[in-house]
């Protein structure tokens, strides 16, 4: 665990709080996913993955919710509260509460929307190896030590070896 300086949250090693751009992407990705799956597919998909602390949009973007007070991914019922009751409350006044929720998510220190506040202190985290900014992946590795799964010493003398995230680590937020 490490303390994220920007948000003040304790996050698991190998993850970081999802950037605002990724949260916005998940916010808007839910709409076409619901349309493409005809709504019912989106609901069934959600019911299947809520136990992993994800929604369909979070899963597509490789994020998960995280509960710092329990130091674990939220379970099915927490996610049900977040997605059913929280989204209902967000939609009560239509565009006004949706806009307020969006602004809270974009400007708040913890990047939480109304549905996150309704269900408690859950946050989305993204994959990574510690608190680093999101970078665009290269198409071809430049050196052999950049090959996926490589655990040997790096090409630079004195640098720390690169360790890929282990399977089962929290990899998303």
- Alpha-carbon separation of residue 95 from 99, 101, 104, 112, 168 (angstroms): 6, 10, 14, 18, 39
Residue 49 has pLDDT above 90, yes or no: yes
pTM for the whole structure: 0.66
Residue 168 maps to a domain: no
Query: Each residue of 85-97: pLDDT tens digit?
Result: 888 888 888 899 8
Band of residue 41 on the pLDDT scale cut at 50, 70, 90: very high
State the total domains in the chain: 1
Question: Which structural domain, as residue segments, surrounds residue 19?
Answer: 7-134
Q: Return the percentage of the chain with pLDDT > 70, whole number.
A: 69
64: nearest Cα among 7, 4, 123: 123
Residue 1 maps to a domain: no
Residue 28 maps to a domain: yes
Residue 98 maps to a domain: yes
Residues 6, 110: contact at Cβ < 8 Å?
Answer: no
109: nearest Cα among 121, 98, 97, 99: 121
Residues 41, 35: contact at Cβ < 8 Å?
Answer: no
Residue 142 maps to a domain: no
| The pLDDT value given to residue 40 | 94
Distance CA 137, CA 67 (A): 28
């Amino acid at each position: 665990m490490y303390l994220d300086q920007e948000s003040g949250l304790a996050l698991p090693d190998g993850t970081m709080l999802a950037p605002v751009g990724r949260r916005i992407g998940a916010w808007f990705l839910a709409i076409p996913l619901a349309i493409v799956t005809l709504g019912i597919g989106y609901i069934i998909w959600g019911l299947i993955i809520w136990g992993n602390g994800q929604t369909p949009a979070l899963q597509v973007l490789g994020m998960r919710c995280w509960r710092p007070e329990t130091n674990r991914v939220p379970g099915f019922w927490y996610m049900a509260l977040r997605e059913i009751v929280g989204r209902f409350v967000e939609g009560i006044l239509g565009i006004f509460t949706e806009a307020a929720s969006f602004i809270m998510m974009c400007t708040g220190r913890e990047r939480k929307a109304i549905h996150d506040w309704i269900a408690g202190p859950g946050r989305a985290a993204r994959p990574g190896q510690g608190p680093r900014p999101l970078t665009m992946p290269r198409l071809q590795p430049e050196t052999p030590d950049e090959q996926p799964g490589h655990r040997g010493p790096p090409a630079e003398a004195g640098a720390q070896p690169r360790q890929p995230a282990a399977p089962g680590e929290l990899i998303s937020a």
